[in-house]
Amino acid sequence: MGILNAGHLTKDGRPQTNPRRMFLVVHHSQRHYGNPEVFWDRSKWQAVCPDHHDGDIQAEQSAEAKRLIERMQMGGGSKV
């Protein structure tokens, strides 16, 4: 179960003390790879707290990219 966080809490529920991290950030539910059409498509935006975005989501995307590279190196092609 998650907590409702408008940016005023850290990921683990403690009060956020860093003023630069007290606001929600936009996560793109579809990776945009610099494509401005995808980047600015608001239907693909999700508001998340910075701790969640910079930690869990980035780690998940990094692991996904690593798996894709490994498959490509093994000759498995792209299976995104």
pTM: predicted TM-score of the whole model, two decimal places: 0.54
Q: Work out the average pLDDT over 34-50.
A: 91
- Encode pLDDT of 62-71 as tens digits: 777 788 888 8
| Residue scoring higher pLDDT (17 or 57) | 17
Q: Is the pLDDT of residue 53 over 80?
A: no
| Spatial contact of 72 and 80, defined as CB atoms under 8 Å apart | no
| Spatial contact of 51 and 7, defined as CB atoms under 8 Å apart | no
Q: What's the mean pLDDT when you consider all of the chain?
A: 80
- Tell me the C-alpha distance between 55 and 49, whole Å: 10
Torsion-angle region of 6 (φ positive above 0: left; ψ -120 to 50: alpha; else: beta) = alpha
Extract the tokens encoding 42. 């608001």
pLDDT on residue 1: 43
Which range is least confidently modeled, 17-21, 33-37, 58-62? 58-62
